[in-house]
Amino acid sequence: MASIYSRLKTQIAPAPAPRVEPQRTDGLRGAEAEEMCAAFESLNLGGFWSTDAEGRITYMSASLVGRLVHDEDATGTEFVGLFVRPRTGIDGQRTLPFVFARKGRFESVIARSEHEDREIVWSLSGEPINDAETGFAGFRGHIVDVTRDRQNAEEASQLATTDALTGLLNRRHMTNVLKRTFAAFAPQRRPCAVMLIDLDRFKQVNDTLGHAVGDALLKQVAQRLIKVVGDKERICRLGGDEFQVMLPDVEDRGRLGDLAGRIITMLSEPYTIEGNRCTIGTSIGIAVSPYDGETVDDLVRNADLALYSAKHSGRGRYRFYSNEMLESAEQRRHLEETMHDALIKGEFELYYQPLVDLSNNHVVGTEALIRWNHPESGLISPALFIPIAEESPMICRIGEWILRKACEDAVSWPGRARVAVNVSPVQFADPSFPKTVAMALTATGLDPDRLELELTESVFLQEGEATDDMFKALKNLGVRLVLDDFGTGYSSLAYLKTAPFDKIKIDQSFIRGATSNTNRNRAIITAIVALAQALGMDTIAEGVETFDQLNMVRDLKIGHVQGYIFSKPVKVEELFRNVAEDNWVLEPDGPAKQRHERRAMFRTIGVIHEDHYYPVTLRNLSISGALIEGLLEVPVGTMFMLDFGDGQFEMATVVRSRDSSQGLHFARELVSDGNGGLVTRHRFMAHHLMAAGVPRNTDEFLAQQAALLATGKISLPCFSMANRGAKRERAKG
């Protein structure tokens, strides 16, 4: 008995359509059609073909012989075999083998063949030949060479998706790629990092060497980016001198920081273009989805905020986005508005850090360091306001004030102690700068030999007559020149052959790492000292803070030292307070060995222990540990989970404990945020924390605690690990 399914299938099956035999075109119409087809073939507008049921050629237009088939008589040749394998994702899903297998009508199917080492692209249309007795009898169809049209379409498509100058993706295409990536990643909340890269001092190249050189420079920058990132399809040029890198499935901020550092180093290497040598730098902002934004617009905006922060923190560095950047942007705007009045109101002041001769520990000079004594914010670091000033005419006014004030102070010092003044690249590029220096010396009466001008390597943006003339003018005044921060990103041995420097200052980043066996800093310092000696220049080591660093500096034959081990920067009133003659000697005083730099701070974070969450005060922080206050009687060896906020958590073990203070050692070291701060490698999303019962932030936790205190359900917490342990023992008994 037939099944219900079979019966229903029979009932609803449509009746077979009546067979319609193709009409014959005989007589005059047939002759006319043949003439039209012949004319079409003779004009090379295309060709005709037909096959039998097995796909073998039964007819081929003569115009196709030589280009598609090599034999004059192609009869019996497999038609599909004339074409190369289809390209997946390029030729489409309807390939020639596919439509031949279906034995149905098809139109505009793309196929490719090879002829004389070049590729020909064809568009084929065909319809099946049906025989009344045998059924399917083959195909007949039409074929057209569309190589030129296809190339034009591909070129147009490339122009729509790539940057014409560099060949990288353009802004529009990268945005579409990001949107597709976000849509695919959203269900699993997979991460995606975005880097925004902006070239430092590129405008000066354009202005001084011309747009042709600027364009050539951008091409070289693009090639270096491809070399570092490794995937051209992840990089785009947004326009001007801005680039963007997309890194799917990357959220490790240690890895991202390493990549950003390599990009900065690579792009900061000198360029040679049309006989011109120029050096630029770069700043990078980094944001990671979904932590820093769950839409493309939010993520790119926050990466831009991080880039802005990097550029205003000294440039040549990278920054990760944090929620605090919105507040920092507002603070910078406020500083920019009030800076114009600060100089008039006398809010700027100079501090001086002694420079010590290592042969006898005598103070031979000082460096003038500006501070802004803000009436509301207190002392503001120059690392914050100097970058803002450099983007306005204020930097020249502030620089002139520093120069005049330093010379004025130094005149009254005992002996021949020199004073060093930092010179901004903006000042150095000003043709009137030598006149400003001469006026300061004349007005104060300071001997020119006692004034040292510290210049960073960024003054060598491009070598030329203007730079050489500036050096000659300054040396003619009799002042001394110091190359500051040597080796931090723009170094070139070429300019040392002609630049008339008296001293080379070795950057503190080399000094602080030289006592470790995990890097090559010591070897680099040794090479710098040998180079300076060969060129007749003195050497200065800055940032020396510990005795192991000091001993290393002595061993490497560095002549002068500047750092906390001898003195912090002090006000001029305290500088020579107890010195009556030219015999000021400073004895070193500091820690025995270098340890990871600890940053003093005072902010509330969270501590999680078992099922308890406590607010504590973070007093200092390093890459390997921290000091917290707020918990009593915590045994050494206790393990905590620290909540730094913004989804940042790290395991820590108590290694020291005294009263309410605990020293902690992290299970994993923190990583740099690119600007002197520290962050965890990984972060957690809010829904992960809520599922684990962790408050989203400390303020929320404190609000919860306050509500419970008000109801009398809890008392003020007096965390005591010892008491909790005793309670557990009593409960067991």
Q: What is the pLDDT of residue 461?
A: 55
Whether residue 492 has pLDDT greater than 50: yes
DSSP output for 443-454: HHT--GGGEEEE
What is the mean pLDDT of the segment spanning 241-256? 94
Token pair in block for residue 294: 């769950």
Q: Where is pLDDT greater, at 3 or 359?
A: 359
Q: Does domain 347-575 have CATH number 3.40.630.10?
A: no
Q: What is the pLDDT of residue 289?
A: 93
Fold of 599-732: Thrombin, subunit H (2.40.10)
Whether residue 641 has pLDDT greater than 50: yes
For 686-728, write each residue's pLDDT tens digit: 555 555 555 555 455 445 544 444 444 433 334 444 444 433 3
Q: What region does 116 belong to: left with phi over 0, alpha with psi -120 to 50, or beta?
A: left
Angle at 711 between CA 707 and CA 713, to 5 degrees: 100
- Contact criterion met (CB below 8 Å) for 722 and 685: no
Token pair in block for residue 531: 């180079």
- State the pLDDT confidence band at 30, using cuts at 50, 70 and 90: low
Task: Find all residues with CB under 8 Å of 211, minimum gap 6, and list them.
Answer: none
Q: What is the pLDDT of residue 252?
A: 92
Q: Which amino acid is at 193?
A: A
Q: What is the pLDDT of residue 275?
A: 81
pTM over 0.75: no
For 452-480, write each residue's pLDDT tens digit: 999 987 776 555 677 888 999 999 999 99
Token pair in block for residue 674: 């690119």
Q: What is the pLDDT of residue 120?
A: 87
Whether residue 606 has pLDDT greater than 70: yes
Domain with CATH 2.40.10 in the chain: 599-732
What is the mean pLDDT of the segment spanning 436-442? 96
Question: How far, in Å, CA of 92 to CA of 88, rounded?
Answer: 7
For 162-195, write each residue's pLDDT tens digit: 888 998 999 989 999 999 999 999 888 899 999 9
Q: What is the pLDDT of residue 376?
A: 82
Helix H, strand E, coil C: the string for 664-733 is EEECCCCEECCCCCEECCCCCCHHHHHHCCCCCCHHHHHHHHHHHHHHCCCCCCCCEHHHHHHHHHHHHC
Q: What is the pLDDT of residue 13?
A: 40
Q: Exposed, middle or buried by CB within 10 Å (0-12, 13-18, 19+), for 74?
A: buried
* Closest residue by Cα to residue 479 from 504, 505, 447: 447
- State the pLDDT confidence band at 11, using cuts at 50, 70 and 90: very low
Angle at 367 between CA 602 and CA 503, to 5 degrees: 125
Q: What is the pLDDT of residue 432?
A: 93
Q: Which of 367-371, 642-646, 676-680 has the highest mean pLDDT?
A: 367-371
Question: How far, in Å, CA of 289 to CA of 303, rounded?
Answer: 10
Q: What is the pLDDT of residue 538?
A: 92
Q: Determine which of 337-346, 557-566, 713-722 has the lowest per-residue pLDDT on average.
A: 713-722
Q: What is the pLDDT of residue 474?
A: 94
Q: Determine which of 290-299, 381-390, 589-598 has the lowest per-residue pLDDT on average.
A: 589-598
Q: What is the pLDDT of residue 726?
A: 36
What b/e readout covers 344-382, taking b as 16+ CB neighbours within 10 angstroms? eeebbebbbbbbbebeeebbbbbbbbbbbebeeeeebeb
For 677-688, write each residue's pLDDT tens digit: 788 888 876 555
Q: What is the pLDDT of residue 238?
A: 92
Fold of 162-327: Alpha-Beta Plaits (3.30.70)
CATH code matching the domain that covers 34-153, chosen among 3.30.1540.20, 3.30.450.20, 3.40.1350.10, 1.10.10.410 = 3.30.450.20
Question: How far, in Å, CA of 498 to CA of 126, rounded?
Answer: 76
Domain with CATH 3.20.20.450 in the chain: 347-575
Q: What is the pLDDT of residue 3?
A: 39
Whether residue 348 has pLDDT greater than 90: yes
What is the mean pLDDT of the segment spanning 80-104? 78
Q: What is the pLDDT of residue 88?
A: 59
Q: What is the pLDDT of residue 438?
A: 96
Q: Where is pLDDT greater, at 134 or 33?
A: 134
Percent of the chain whose pLDDT exceeds 90: 32
Q: What is the pLDDT of residue 476?
A: 94
Averaged pLDDT of the chain = 81
Question: How far, in Å, CA of 418 to CA of 446, rounded?
Answer: 10
For 304-336, write each residue's pLDDT tens digit: 999 988 887 667 889 999 887 777 667 777 788
What is the mean pLDDT of the segment spanning 73-94? 76
Q: What is the pLDDT of residue 561?
A: 94
- Give the CA distances from residue 436 to residues 145, 402, 593, 623, in Å, rounded to whole numbers and listed in that order: 74, 11, 44, 44
Q: What is the pLDDT of residue 732?
A: 38
Whether residue 15 has pLDDT greater than 90: no
Domain with CATH 3.30.450.20 in the chain: 34-153
Q: What is the pLDDT of residue 435?
A: 95
- State the pLDDT confidence band at 410, using cuts at 50, 70 and 90: very high
Whether residue 528 has pLDDT greater than 70: yes
Q: Determine which of 83-92, 344-353, 609-618, 705-714 has the lowest per-residue pLDDT on average.
A: 705-714
Whether residue 362 has pLDDT greater than 50: yes
Domain with CATH 3.30.70.270 in the chain: 162-327
Whether residue 9 has pLDDT greater than 70: no
